[in-house]
Structure 1
Amino acid sequence: MILQPPYTLAFTPQRIVSLVPSQTELLHYLGLEEETVGITKFCIHPKEWYRNKTRVGGTKTVNPAAIKKLQPHLIIANKEENVKEQIEELANEYNVLVTDVNNVSEALQMISCIGTLTGKDKEATQLITRIENNFSTIHQPAIPIKTAYLIWNNPYMAAGGGTFINDMMDKAGLKNIFQDNKRYPGITIADLQIAGCQLLMLSSEPYPFKQKHIDELQQHLPNTKIILADGEMFSWYGSRMLLVPEYLHSMRREW
């Protein structure tokens, strides 16, 4: 079944499958080494789990047979990361938590929820406090910088409003020029020019932008600062958030 609020189980799960990379990393942070029995091929952190844990397909291509062999007590999925039909099929046989994270506040709620379900309340609460304290050190520029964050190439796609990335940009003092567009709109170079884009960030994921893409775009946007951005820092809503404030501080040298 798909778990509903208040997201409780009658027992603490001893066999967990994670279908979300950022939440796999969170499970590791919470100390669920033995309990986590399955991950996806995109769950690259931590490295030792990527090498040693059973992989159950991709985030969009889950392998039900591989999951069945693991007989999980709990599957952790995400509304945006995973395919609805695949998750509903799994929910016919297993307990499934489907998270829905669109901002920092919801990310902290998710951490608390997973901590409660897995018997790691104390560790989750301590993590939330550390994240909140770290985020309180972020210094925003006096005037928000008109910014676009590209996640895909050919066609170009940007992070729009209602996304976790958009909220992270806001926390950094960056004004997302596509925040009035929901989710991940397709955009053109002309859109960037018309909006007066001052800073253009090219993400490392899901499309792996490189320096050559900066060079291509810079020809059309001579007055725009274009940089590569670590997609994990802007879109991984788990323990990775601990590192975000320091990362933003280092990035400002390029803005």
Structure 2
Amino acid sequence: MSFGPRRIVCLTEEPTEVLYALGEQDRIVGISGFTVRPARARKEKPKVSAFTSAKIGEILKLQPDFVVGFSDIQADIAAELIRQGVEVWISNHRSVAEILDYVRRLGALVGAGERADAYADELKRGLDAIGEVSVTLPRRPKVYFEEWDEPRITGIRWVAELVRLAGGDDIFPERATESLAKNRILPDDTEIIARAPDIVFGSWCGKKFQPGKVSARPGWENVPAVRDGELHEIKSPVILQPGPAALTDGVREMAAHIRRWALR
């Protein structure tokens, strides 16, 4: 006999991806419009939210018994739903270890604890395999990860951890620990240029990364990444959501670029 919530609305992509991976997708009655993984979710489920906004009326019509969201950015959506009597879980996981723990907790909430544990273990083994290869590389690049271009926002904690795991060193480790995006805004380009990244990864949160715009920035012509043409897009769905995508496709893409650079 199954237990736990039967009508779940997912306000971000990662709970949708996890629930599909666990075979519990029938519980999902609504998803985020930004969901691209798994592809079938977009075809099967109604889209009822963006990231900072949601169609509260549409969500209530679905009669959810559980709504899952992520971070302070969705606090207002959560508060409105709670006032309407809906049970809401806003997770706030920021590190790789916390993402794995999130998979286990979400699975336990829907009565799929054992499957969730097995899935988290599988994700961890994949990360360990990438780490084992990256420690054998002959050199480590300095990496600047840009989450937004105007203003410049550096990568969040799980991104910096995955860069390290993939064989690189994030040039703003002190900012990566800041959970709020506003605390990861760089006042200008001086510090980026001074820290001389060998590789730039761009993931402009839902809009296309433009290497040409980056290389044309004043003072960037001598940045090693610009000089050597190491400006690469990592699409936001595979790195900027704290779920399985970042721990699989996202980190693998970064590792491939880093490996190619290291063996050049």
Instruction: Tell me if both proteins adopt one fold, taking TM over 0.5 as the criterion.
Output: yes
Where has structure 1 moved over 4 Å in runs of 4 or more? none
Shift of 1:142: 5.4
Q: What does residue range 91-106 of structure 1 map to in structure 2 within 5 Å?
A: 91-92=82-83, 93-106=85-98
CA RMSD of aligned residues (A): 2.4
Q: Secondary structure at the match of 1:24?
A: helix
Given the alignment of the two structures, is residue 88 of structure 1 paired with residue 84 of structure 2, yes or no?
no
The match for 1:237 is 242
Normalising to structure 2: TM-score of the pair? 0.82
Report the counterpart of residue 70 of structure 2 in structure 1: 78
1: CA distance, partners of 2:77 / 2:250: 32
SS for the counterpart of 1:209 is: coil
Q: 2:112 matched to 1:130?
A: no
Distance in 2 (alpha carbons) for counterparts of 1:221 and 1:120: 52
Indicate the SS of the match to 2:69: strand
Letter of the structure 2 residue corresponding to residue 234 of structure 1:
I
Q: Which amino acid aligns with 1:100?
A: N
Deviation, 1:242, is: 3.4
Matches within 5 A, 1:14-163: 14-80=6-72, 82-92=73-83, 93-138=85-130, 139-140=133-134, 141=137, 143-159=139-155, 163=157
Tell me the residue number matched to 1:194. 194
**What one-letter code is carried by the residue in structure 1 that aligns with 2:169?**
K
Q: Secondary structure at the match of 1:94?
A: coil
CA deviation after TM superposition for structure 1 residue 148, in Å: 1.0
C-alpha distance in 2, partners of 1:142/1:231?
Answer: 29
Partner of 2:232, secondary structure, is strand
CA–CA separation in structure 1 for the residues paired with 2:102 and 2:25: 19
Query: What's the % identity of the aligned pairs?
Result: 19
| Structure 1 residues 218 and 24: alpha-carbon distance in aligned structure 2, compared to 1, 3 A threshold | farther
Q: Answer whether contact 2:11 2:51 (CA < 8 A) is retained.
A: yes
- Deviation per CA, 1:62-104, whole angstroms, max 9, x where unpaired? 1110111011111111115x42122122123111111111111
**Aligned amino acid, residue 165 of structure 1:** V
Identify the match of residue 168 of structure 2 among 152, 174, 177.
174
Segment drifting more, 24-33 vs 214-223: 214-223
1:82-135 per-residue CA deviation (whole Å, 9 max, x = no partner) reads 421221221231111111111111001100110001111122111111111111
Where does the alignment leave 5 or more consecutive residues of structure 1 unmatched? 1-10
Paired AA for residue 233 in structure 2: L
Q: Deviations over 1:147-199 (max 9, x none)?
A: 11001122222125xx2212222222322211212344223332211112222
Instruction: Decide which of 226, 231, 241 is 1:226's aligned counterpart.
Output: 231
Residues 34 and 24 of structure 1, relative CA distance in 2, 3 Å threshold: same
Residue 22 of structure 2 contacts residue 115 of structure 2 at CA under 8 Å; is this kept in 1?
A: yes
- Opposite residue 155 of structure 1, the aligned amino acid is P
Q: Normalising by structure 1, what TM-score? A: 0.85
Cα distance in 2, alignment partners of residues 74 and 169 from structure 1: 34
Structure 1 83/106 Cα, relative in aligned 2: closer, same or farther at 3 Å? Answer: same
Gapped runs of 5+ residues in structure 2? Answer: none
1:32 deviates by 1.9
More helix by share: 2
- What is the one-letter code of the residue matched to 1:60? T
Aligned partner of 1:6 in structure 2 is none
Asked whether the 8 Å contact 2:15–2:106 carries over to 1, the reply is: no
Specify the alignment match of 1:5 in structure 2.
Answer: none
Residues 254 and 204 of structure 1: is their aligned pair in 2 closer, same or farther, counting only changes over 3 Å? farther
Show the counterpart of 2:258: 252
Question: SS at the partner of 2:108?
Answer: helix
